[in-house]
Amino acid sequence: MAEFEQIEGRFDYIIIGSGSAGSVLARRLSEDGSSRILILEAGTDKGSIFVDMPSALSIPMNTRRYNWGLKTEPEPHLGNRIMNLPRGKGVGGSSLINGMCYVRGNPLDYERWAFLGASGWNWSNVLPYFKRAETVRDDPGEHRGTAGPLNISAPQGRNPLFPTFLEAGRDAGYAISANMNDAQHEGFSPMEMTVSDGIRWSAARAYLKPSLKTGRVRVMTGALVEKILIENGRAKGVLFERGGKSYQANADREVILSAGSIMSPTILKRSGIGPGEELRQHGIDVRMESCGVGANLMDHLELYIQQECTQSVSLYKWMNALGKAYIGGSWLLTRKGLGATNHFEAGAHIRSKAGIGYPDIQFHFLPLAISYDGSSMAQSEGFQVHVGTKRSKSRGNVSLRSSSARDMPKVVFNYMSHADDWADMRRCVEYTREVFAQPSFDPFRGRELKPGSSTSADDELNEFIRANVESAYHPCGTCRMGSDEMAVTGPDCKVHGVDALRVIDASIMPQATAGDLNGPTIMLAEKAADIIRGHASLTDPDAPIPIDAKWRDRQRSRSVDKDISHDPKEIEAIMQAEPPVRMSHEQTDMEVAGA
């Protein structure tokens, strides 16, 4: 081993990563008044007005200062396309570069976690932690938090296209929810954002920065973790590089890995925890054989269905140098106006077909026809939805490129490798077109820009999907909780077979939730902090689980008012209606039919 310097001081906990999970853990673990915490962050702690300004979200997303700059390997079922994979790098992690959409997910997402082996993570067990995290200022509902670190804002509601989208959903026969994060997730609804007084409310701003004032939390930026040090089956510390030198820091209690769904399994593998054959190929001593590390990789894919707008009400007129300067200048002076919103102010969660018990398709509505990362824009007034499936059956893998921390891992999502995903994506196009065709949109609807009205046959839609589908940037599942041979962590977030080591971030999710992942990741860390501290788990035995009573027979309903929170047989029936995807020890491509 190369020579290294020992970091001075003693630490109870070392947290790898200062993102949405790491920031939460630092604050909560420091609350006992005695714990000493070291956070190792590969990125910077320097901010930017483009990070703070919500509508400028595509700028930090495309800036290497805040983004690891990852790309996938060629995706075999998407014509070998190499996909963009932005992952946050810096104090705040991906909460510095995300779209700020706040979505808890559906209550049945967490029943599915428990069904897949994460006992104690049912909806009744996680709702109190969502509430503990939140401060909802605008008309909080019965099931919301009002005193948490995470400030959540309601949409501005100024653009007429947002209420039009919601009314079109009602016209198409879907339920309307006053707030998808309160009692009813399913249906068309306004969307909340992690914005406070016009500023991006990152996890670092919400949790980490206040904890630094205690003097019990130390952050080392520019710290590239090489590996976790394991002796006699116990994590004792971390070896990392900083400024061209190697350093070691030791943890008296635990090492906590919160580096995200791509970097957490990569660090585990470099530390000797993972599939033995892969580790030996890179000259890494196997400390703990764990075949599930890096497997079970899942994501949310989405399509942009774009429509021309016949009135000058979209954001198109602002997408020039003068318009952007006006938005930016107004925001700098007042923290208000178009600069103070992420522009995703309306959305929906619907079911793909009868026999699906809770939503597996999500819409984000945007009053502009543009790609998520801002790299391409339609040359006319327009609007769009980002639409995609939430429980894809395709699974991928994160593997090592080498044993060096300087080499980024190989990431293959294996997108669209299951035949069901193609049928579900085609339904996404069908349902979007149906919503846009409703009378509510008559005053605004022009021609369909993308995919174009002539694209209708299955083979034509498949080709459109193959060429245009994009990641929603929600990777998860690569160190999932459970008790079977492919599970990496238990419900207590401990790594199986290694003492004093936990993984706490989106990588331990057994299944992606029906919505954006930032909110669930923060909740996950809130609950995990209580587990670490030995606190009694918060629970709400009356946490409601509303569904469409006739979910077996219909794809949509205006009524989502049957509470099954005390009906375990009905919950079981919904779980069994969608058999879980099980990954073998080796990443394999599933047979693709009709694509």
Catalytic residue positions?
A: 474
* CA distances, 408 to each of 3, 81, 92, 531 (Å): 23, 18, 20, 32
CA angle centred on 227, ends 224 and 229, rounded to 5°: 135
First to last CA, the chain: 50
C-alpha triplet 546, 21, 208: angle, nearest 5°: 120
Q: 568: part of which helix (H) or strand (E)?
A: helix 568-577
71-107 exposure pattern, b = at least 16 Cβ within 10 A, e = fewer: ebbebebbeebebbbbbbbbbbbbbbbbbbbbbbbbb
- List the beta bridge partners of residue 38: 14, 218
3-state secondary structure 386-410: EEEECCCCCCEEEECCCCCCCCCCE
Give the phi and the psi of residue 350 in degrees, each rounded to 5: -130, 170
- Give the position of tokens 């021609």: 447
Cβ contacts of 458 within 8 Å, gap of 6 or more:
426, 594
Cis-peptide, bond into residue 451, ω within 30° of zero:
yes
Q: What share of the chain is helix, strand, coil (3-state, %, to 5)?
A: 30, 25, 50
d(CA 5, CA 15) in angstroms, rounded, equals 19
Residues 377, 440: contact at Cβ < 8 Å?
no
Rounded Cα distance between 593 and 595, Å, is: 6
User: How far from the centroid of its chain's Cα atoms is residue 574's Cα?
Assistant: 23
Residue 390 to residue 266: CA distance in whole angstroms? 25
Q: How many CB atoms lie within 10 A of CB 197?
A: 11
Q: CA angle 28-31-33, nearest 5°? A: 150
Which of these, 306, 284, 498, 477, lies nearest to 393 by C-alpha position? Answer: 477
